[in-house]
Amino acid sequence: MIEFKILKTSKKSWARLGVLKTPHGEVETPSLVPVATQAAIKTLPSEYLTQIGTQIIISNTFHLHLKPGEAIVKRAGGIHKFMNWNGPVMTDSGGFQVFSLGFGRDLDLGKIKKFFPGKITDNQSIEKGTQPKKVKITEEGVHFFSPVDGKKLFIGPKESIKIQESLGADIIFAFDECTPPVASREYAKASLERTHRWAKICNQNHKTKQALFGIVQGSRFKDLRKEAANFINGLGFPGYGIGGDLGDNTKDMMDILKWTVPLLDKNKPRHLLGIGYLRDMEDVVSHGIDLFDCVVPTLFARRNVAFIHGKGELSWEKLNLRNTQFIKDLKPLDKKCICFVCTNYKRTYLAHLVRSGEISAMSLVTYHNLHFFNEFVASIRKKIKQGKL
RNA sequence: GAGGCAUUAGUUUAGUGGUAAAACUUCGAUCUGUGGCAUCGACAUCACCGGUUCAACUCCGGUAUGCCUCC
């Protein structure tokens, strides 16, 4: 079980400061949840997570089911022992893979709509009844293929819950369909109704003391989002995820939060699924979000992009360590950063590692980026505490 | 000295009588509940000098350089 304690509610916005208590420790909220898809923060040993301010991580049902299989994780004593991380853990339900391996793969697009020349047009939309090419979505669940070996597999609400119970995370998510950003209203409505039926099934089949979060879908449509928030709120989950496509830009995303957040039980934590640009973080928090997971700090690190302090407080810059200028740069990665990497390594060396294809480049930048993001969120918490947000 | 073959992007190679293709490198950009450590751009007076032709990187001759064979 979890317990969510709100320490302070902002008078200026919907932001709040809280503590989320789990069987594996406490999380100060708002908090970033780094992504450990395959029970690993890529390139980083679990021991390092604490020193970079990580309080909770999220792993993935679909991927762990494929490899190594939940039985193996259970046999090892559950996901915490399996990966030697004794802090709080969430598992995503596999609902995102319905999208990422389905329409996302077909159209080569992410869940925030962007213009991809030649792939989609402005007015293209996915109509009700359409299926992705390789994934088949039915009333009972979803027929997937394994990205590892192409093998077919089926995951529905019951299966997802069962797998997540075997994995043993502190917080688990209901199985949903993450809808594509080009879904028509009719598609989104039909999908939402099915996601709601699945949410009920997840709730009924859930037997353990793990906290099961319901997920609010509804795409970019106001009435559907409100309907979703009301419905999910009515099922009595101990927390909520807000997922699916979140419009075309930050403003749309904020609109969606404005529609949904007020309809959710204010005493329960709200998790914004998959969102975490530094650019949006204050906005997201001021619209009432307590937790959010994002691959940006870790994924960008492996693409040689480091995030560093900008001039002011809560300002930042992006550094592409591949750029020529850094090979001769004797400055630390981020002179305002106190992390292990910034206090010990110079840009010239990191740039060299990047150019030489040394694996440690990814590791060191991942370490720094997570430190930076965690510190960034800590500054936001401080701002709420001081009444500035 | 004679003969043969070769010379195309930084590198390694395609290719065609109508101003060039790929991989890697280099330069830059992108990435939001992570199938891929990826994706998308940029970068060449086709060794040099002549000739044939409406048109030559392509055909012909010469020069240079390299490799091979023979004397």
Quote the CA–CA distance of A223 and A214 in Å, as a whole number: 18
Is the distance from CB of A149 to CB of A66 less than 8 angstroms?
no
Q: Is the CB of A99 under 7 A from strand B?
A: yes
Protein-covered nucleotides on strand B (Cβ within 7 A): 26-38
Quote the CA–CA distance of A224 and A194 in Å, as a whole number: 13
- Please determine, for residue A115, whether its predicted confidence score (pLDDT) is greater than 80: no
Q: Among A84-93, A119-128, A353-362, whose mean pLDDT is lowest?
A: A119-128
Q: Is A206 helix (H, G, I), strand (E, B) or coil?
A: coil
Quote the CA–CA distance of A138 and A264 in Å, as a whole number: 28
Q: What's the confidence (pLDDT) of residue A147?
A: 87
CA distances from A101 to A97, A142, A225, A255, A282 (A): 5, 11, 24, 27, 31
Q: Is the CB of A35 under 7 A from strand B?
A: yes
pTM for this model (two decimals): 0.94
- Please determine, for residue A203, whether its predicted confidence score (pLDDT) is greater than 60: yes
Quote the CA–CA distance of A15 and A304 in Å, as a whole number: 33
- Please determine, for residue A29, whether its predicted confidence score (pLDDT) is greater than 60: yes
> Is residue A112 very low, low, confident or very high in pLDDT (cuts 50, 70, 90)?
confident
* Nearest nucleotide relative to A325: CA against C1': B27
* Nearest nucleotide relative to A217: CA against C1': B33
Quote the CA–CA distance of A168 and A74 in Å, as a whole number: 8
- Compute chain A's Rg from CA coordinates: 20
> Is residue A35 very low, low, confident or very high in pLDDT (cuts 50, 70, 90)?
very high
Q: Among A148-157, A327-336, A366-375, whose mean pLDDT is lowest?
A: A148-157
Q: For residue range A204-258, list pLDDT tens digits in order.
A: 999 999 999 999 999 999 999 999 999 999 999 999 999 999 988 999 999 999 9
Q: Which two tokens stand for residue A340?
A: 């292990």
Quote the CA–CA distance of A37 and A59 in Å, as a whole number: 4
Which has more pLDDT, A125 or A17? A17
Q: Taking Cα atoms as reference points, which of A293, A317, A292 lies closest to residue A305?
A: A317
Residues β-bridged to residue A35: A58
Q: Which two tokens stand for residue A43?
A: 């390139």
Q: For residue range A45-68, list pLDDT tens digits in order.
A: 999 999 999 999 999 999 999 999
Q: Is the peptide bond before A68 cis (omega within 30 degrees of 0)?
A: yes
Is the distance from CB of A90 to CB of A292 less than 8 angstroms?
no
Is the distance from CB of A212 to CB of A93 less than 8 angstroms?
no
- Please determine, for residue A120, whether its predicted confidence score (pLDDT) is greater than 60: no
Quote the CA–CA distance of A75 and A94 in Å, as a whole number: 21
- Please determine, for residue A165, whether its predicted confidence score (pLDDT) is greater than 90: yes
Per-residue CB contacts under 7 A with strand B, chain A residues 301-360: 302-303, 305, 318, 320, 322-325, 327, 355
Å between CA of A70 and C1' of B56: 67
Domains and CATH numbers, chain A: 3-294 (3.20.20.105), 305-379 (no CATH)
Quote the CA–CA distance of A72 and A195 in Å, as a whole number: 29
E strands, chain A, where? 3-9, 16-22, 25-29, 31-34, 57-60, 89-92, 136-137, 142-145, 152-155, 171-173, 211-216, 240-242, 270-272, 291-294, 305-309, 316-320
* Nearest nucleotide relative to A35: CA against C1': B34
% chain A with pLDDT above 70: 97
Q: Which two tokens stand for residue A177?
A: 């369909």
Amino acid at A271: H
Q: What's the confidence (pLDDT) of residue A150?
A: 86
Quote the CA–CA distance of A384 and A217 in Å, as a whole number: 28
Q: Among A119-123, A124-128, A146-150, A272-276, whose mean pLDDT is lowest?
A: A119-123
Per-residue CB contacts under 7 A with strand B, chain A residues 115-144: none
Å between CA of A310 and C1' of B71: 76
Å between CA of A320 and C1' of B11: 26
Å between CA of A349 and C1' of B7: 40
Burial of A6 (0-12, 13-18, 19+ CB in 10 A): middle
Residues β-bridged to residue A63: none
Per-residue CB contacts under 7 A with strand B, chain A residues 162-201: 173, 176, 178
Residues of A that are catalytic: 92, 293
Q: What's the confidence (pLDDT) of residue A148?
A: 83
Rounded to the nearest integer, the mean pLDDT of chain A is 95
Quote the CA–CA distance of A29 and A18 in Å, as a whole number: 5
- Please determine, for residue A116, whether its predicted confidence score (pLDDT) is greater than 50: no
